[in-house]
């Protein structure tokens, strides 16, 4: 029996931008996970459901491209990028995370 593992290669990272001379604001920007890992971005979220993501513990030992996975299985079940959503056969509709990162 094959184990289906989730691998997401594109995400959003939180960056601080200068809005004017005296004000700054945080924005979510799309980025490849390999770039986000190499630039040491700390906060990731899914570009589809805005749910929290994490780097697997074996991402350094793994010979494949760096990837992230959903922290919550529920997010994976209702996100188009989630492996549990892709494997479901009940015709569920995609939705945003119940606890989206803002």
Q: For the segment 38-89, what is each residue's pLDDT rounded down to a tens digit?
A: 777 778 899 999 999 988 766 555 556 788 889 998 998 899 888 888 888 8
Write the CA distances from 82 to 23, 28, 31, 68, integer angstroms: 36, 20, 18, 11
**Above 50 in pLDDT, residue 1?**
no
The answer to whether residue 99 is domain-embedded is no
Give the residue numbers spanning the domain of 15: 10-87
**Model pLDDT, residue 63:** 56
Report helix, strand or coil for 81.
coil
The answer to whether residue 1 is domain-embedded is no
Picking from 35, 30, 32, 33, the residue whose alpha carbon sits closest to that of residue 47 is 30
Assign 100 a pLDDT band (cuts: 50, 70, 90): very high
**Model pLDDT, residue 65:** 76
Q: Structural domain tally of the chain?
A: 1
The answer to pTM > 0.85 is no
The answer to whether residue 60 is domain-embedded is yes
Write the CA distances from 75 to 5, 34, 35, 62, integer angstroms: 15, 22, 23, 24
């Amino acid at each position: 029996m094959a184990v289906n593992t989730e691998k997401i290669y594109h995400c959003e990272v939180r960056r601080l931008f200068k809005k004017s001379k005296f004000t700054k604001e945080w924005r979510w920007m799309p980025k490849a996970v390999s770039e986000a890992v190499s630039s040491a971005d700390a906060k990731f979220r899914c570009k589809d459901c805005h749910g929290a993501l994490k780097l697997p513990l074996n991402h350094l030992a793994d010979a494949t491209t760096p990837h992230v996975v959903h922290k919550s299985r529920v997010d994976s079940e209702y996100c188009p990028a989630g492996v549990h959503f892709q494997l479901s056969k009940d015709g569920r509709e995609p939705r945003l995370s119940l606890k989206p990162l803002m």
